[in-house]
Amino acid sequence: MKGHVRERGKGNWYAVLSVRDAQTGKRRVKFISLSGAKGKREAQQEFARIVTEMQKGAYVEPDKTTLAQFLERWLGQIKTQVSPRSYERYAEIAHNNIVPVLGNAQLMKLRPDHISEAYSKALSGGRRDGAGGLSPRTVHHMHTILKQALKQACIWRAITHNPADLVKPPKVERKEMQTIDTNRTIEVIEAARGSRMLIPTLLGVLCGLRRGEVVALRWRSVDLDAGQLSVVASAEQTDQGVREKETKSGKGRAVTLSPTLISELRRYRAEQAQMLLKLGVRLADDYHVVTREDGEPIQPRSLSRAFRKFMRRHRLPQIRLHDLRHSHATHLPRPVCTQRSPKSDSDIRASALRSICSVTYCRGCRRTRLPKLTRRYRPQ
């Protein structure tokens, strides 16, 4: 490859190269600014580096694209590769957290110290309302997304290396899962009795269903005669609406119902059928189990809000609906776990999701024991 260095104006050095046009095959003269060179010797050293990289195919053309501009391109590329909810979250963090602190930086000039400084700034005062900094977990999400985006920039040959690889994100303290014990579980069930929150509560605490699985459950997946339901779908809500997708594990699973839950589901189905008849609609197997009062499917976020209001109204522990699933996994007597071998942790969780044992609760004036709940479950 032929070329030389040339000074154009005082102190403005350029690499002058004779290169072949990729489209026409003809040779043309290419000028590359050597802005960092302070003299002819440094210009010649930079020129030699550029020629070497070109010969190895590792040279990246100088570009003034900012990180904000690149993130928009990257978000457009991944939109079809991730779920709508994941894309929504990526875009939210990119626009609200990354762009305000790093968006004006040129992609090619982005350095690890720039990123570290941006993380520190976000931790101390990164909230959009000005009421303090972002949590370490949010900044960790920023790092994950930025690192992934810059990795794609390397693949696209927009940069030669990923500066985020050299940055350590803030440490995130692991939060303990919120759960309620069997006595509190009884209180929640009794408080929900007679309300529309009873079935979602029972499905969460007795079957370990996630919020999206509760919302997506249809009567065709519930076999009350066989005492079993099939979890085959989950509902996901974004700003664009609600869609049904496969379960988190990507596989369906069968859940064996206790006699208590079978009885409650039979009663609830009869009430739902009567309600729909008043609206001139006949209940079909394709209808969702948990619905609004007009029979339409309930949105996941609406169900979460209703559950929070219900817990607050009855002065019960302020937990999320999903925490009922966590509680379901902890309702296993301790001795059962201690009898397991260390290499059967997955079996321990599977067993934990099978039983709520020897729990007593009051219904009216009668005391009943919740029967043992068995379940076919694949650990996740």
Q: What is the domain count for the chain?
A: 3
The reply to whether 311 and 335 lie within a common domain is yes
Strands (E), 252-337: 253-256
Q: Is the pLDDT higher at 311 or at 38?
A: 311
pLDDT at 364: 32
Q: Band of the pLDDT at 3, cuts 50, 70, 90?
A: confident
Instruction: Please tell me whether residue 369 adopts helix, strand or coil conformation.
Output: strand
Report if pTM > 0.75: no
Q: Is residue 144 scored above 80 in pLDDT?
A: yes
Per-residue model confidence as pLDDT tens digits over 270-281: 999 999 998 888
Specify the CATH number for the domain of residue 123: 1.10.150.130
The reply to whether 88 and 235 lie within a common domain is no
The reply to whether 75 and 132 lie within a common domain is yes
Q: Is residue 200 scored above 90 in pLDDT?
A: yes
Per-residue tokens: 288: 């969702």
Q: Is residue 294 scored above 90 in pLDDT?
A: no
In a domain, 203, yes or no: yes
pLDDT at 76: 93
Cβ-contact 189, 198 below 8 angstroms: yes
Per-position b or e across 43-65, b if 16+ CB within 10 A of its CB: bbebbeebbeebeeeeeeeeeee
Q: What is the mean pLDDT of the chain?
A: 81
pLDDT at 202: 94
The reply to whether 347 and 200 lie within a common domain is yes
* Domain region containing 106: 67-166
pLDDT at 218: 95
Per-residue model confidence as pLDDT tens digits over 69-123: 999 999 999 999 998 999 999 999 999 999 999 999 999 889 999 999 999 999 9
Distance CA 96, CA 101 (A): 9
Distance CA 134, CA 98 (A): 12
Cβ-contact 272, 283 below 8 angstroms: yes
pLDDT at 58: 60
In a domain, 177, yes or no: no
The reply to whether 209 and 314 lie within a common domain is yes
Strands 27-33 and 222-223: unpaired
Nearest CA to 304 out of 230, 220, 204 is that of 204
Per-residue model confidence as pLDDT tens digits over 222-273: 999 999 999 999 999 988 889 988 888 878 899 999 898 999 999 999 999 9
Long-range contacts of 161-165 (CB under 8 A, 24+ apart): 163/110, 163/111, 163/112, 163/114, 163/115, 164/112, 164/115
Mean pLDDT of 123-141: 86
